[in-house]
Structure 1
Amino acid sequence: MRCPECGVDDDKVVDSRPTPDGAAIRRRRECRVCGTRFTTFERVELPELNVHKRSGAVTPFSRQKVLDGMARAAKGRVSQEDLERAAARVEQSLRAGGARAVTSEQVGLKVLAQLHELDDVAYVRFASVYKDFQGPEDFEEALLTLRKDAPPKAPDRV
């Protein structure tokens, strides 16, 4: 690894630990020549996963795009760390089958499943865009689905 300060390829690893999502190793390095400390990340390079969109276009899968969409839906409701873990689970489940290509519908359904576990309001917000809600009846149908999936409430004691 070249030092960003002096450009010399002679450093030592001072500290090494996994990132919170476990997808990379964070290494603190120190240049043996000038003493500059810098951070590097080591990640496994996975085969490219392509997304076939409804328009027919094919684009590389982007966890960041998934995370951005989830963050917009969950704005102010779910922590960034929880969203990052959920986006990682979406990617992991898409790659689990070993496929090199998925449809945008598969991605959307995985995102909906993760948001359903995290926050009902974020789920409905995402569903309203993803499923292209046209009126109140679409929201009612989504809410009905949420109510069916919710555990029964304990009866009030008097």
Structure 2
Amino acid sequence: MKCPFCKAENTKVVDSRETEDGRSTRRRRECLECLKRFTTYEKPELFTMRVVKRNGERVEFQAEKIMRGMIFACRKRPVSTEVIEKAVCEIEQELVSLGKKEIPSLTIGKHVMRKLREMDEVAYIRFASVYKRFECKDEFIEELESMN
């Protein structure tokens, strides 16, 4: 595996363990060139789920995109990476359990918003403002009021 920092191909596994939910393997790796460490996750590919985007385009489902979106929403909030990782696993499991080969991006967004609302209301509002495409402060205020 290539190092995400220096792109060197010489890395070694320092630690390997099953994740809490037992659905994947977490590996701690170290680059033999720059000596930086990074984490990877390995899981079995059950079937390829596709996401139907708002514009109709179909792309392969990537849990990493959910992870990035949630990390961005939780930036500078008291939410640990572990909590976000667990939420992403739960969302992915929920989506897989639907048994559909294609999932609308709006469905994924609803699952993410529900989890974020449970985790941190500020992160929820940040994500909702992008997901729901707020165009004015009134839409923002309306969403805030709906939380009460």
Task: Please state whether the residue corresponding to 2:147 is helix, strand or coil.
Answer: helix
TM score, norm. by length of structure 1? 0.70
Tell me which residue corresponds to 1:12.
none
Instruction: Give CA-to-partner distance per residue, 1:99-135, whole Å, 9 cap, x none.
Output: 1110010011000001010000000000001101111
1:151 corresponds to which residue?
A: none
Matched, 1:117 2:141: no
Find the structure with the greater CA-based Rg. 1
Tell me the alpha carbon deviations over residues 14-70 of structure 1, each in whole angstroms, 9 at most, x when there is no partner: x9741244322468xxxxxxxxxxxx9763221001000111110011100000001
Once superposed, which parts of structure 1, at least 4 consecutive aligned residues long, lie more than 4 Å away?
none
Q: Deviations over 1:128-154 (max 9, x none)?
A: 01101111111111111211xxxxxxx
Equivalent positions of 1:1-158 (< 5 A) are: 17-25=17-25, 43-77=43-77, 78-147=79-148
CA distance 1:69–1:16, shift in 2 (3 Å): closer
CA distance, structure 2, for counterparts of residue 67 and residue 50 of structure 1? 17
Q: Which residue of 1 aligns with 2:3?
A: none
Provide the aligned C-alpha RMSD in A. 2.4
